[in-house]
């Protein structure tokens, strides 16, 4: 089925560990986004990309890095995880003028 696939779905990290979240879309979408969702905070934009090889900072970029080496993939990296990064992470993609398609999320716990 076409859509946005996020891996992994769940992960527990120790403080200071690193990890990469993968977002893959098979819809040839130009734009891709990483959001985090915390209780009572809605969805907050971390980083986004307007095309292959481009990235830009969103509202809450500190502590995260991203890469878009291939059009279909958008990677979110945590170099040194902190408990404040415990959250549910959502990836989304879209074409110009279209609505967002979201993945089903990655639930990350940092202990």
Partner 1 sequence: TQLLEQSPQFLSIQEGENLTVYCNSSSVFSSLQWYRQEPGEGPVLLVTVVTGGEVKKLKRLTFQFGDARKDSSLHITAAQPGDTGLYLCAGLPSGNTPLVFGKGTRLSVIA
Question: In angstroms, what is the minimal distance from the CB of 53 to partner 1?
Answer: 16
59 belongs to the binding site for partner 1 (CB under 8 A): yes
Tally of CA atoms within 13 A in the half-sphere of 24 that contains its CB:
8
Q: Apex CA 38: angle with CA 68 and CA 103, to 5°?
A: 40
Q: Which stretch binds partner 1 (CB under 8 A): 17-25, 30-38, 65-73, 76-84?
A: 30-38
Beta carbons within 10 angstroms of residue 10's beta carbon? 9
103 belongs to the binding site for partner 1 (CB under 8 A): yes
Question: In angstroms, what is the minimal distance from the CB of 57 to partner 1?
Answer: 11
The secondary structure element, H or E, covering residue 25 is strand 19-25
- Closest by CA to 64, choosing from 49, 53, 54, 78, is 78
74 belongs to the binding site for partner 1 (CB under 8 A): no
Residues that bind partner 1 (CB under 8 A): 4, 31, 33, 35, 40-45, 48, 50, 58-59, 90, 92, 96, 99-100, 102-105
């Amino acid at each position: 089925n076409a859509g946005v696939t996020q891996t992994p779905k769940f992960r527990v990290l120790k403080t200071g560990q690193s990890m990469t979240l993968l977002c893959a879309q098979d819809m040839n979408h130009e734009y891709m986004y990483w959001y985090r969702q915390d209780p009572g905070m809605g969805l907050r934009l971390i980083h986004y990309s307007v095309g292959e090889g481009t990235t830009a900072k969103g509202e809450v970029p500190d502590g995260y890095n991203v890469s878009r080496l291939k059009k279909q993939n958008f990677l979110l990296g945590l170099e040194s995880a902190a408990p404040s990064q415990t959250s549910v992470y959502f990836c989304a993609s879209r074409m110009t003028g279209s609505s967002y398609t979201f993945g089903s999320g990655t639930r990350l716990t940092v202990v």
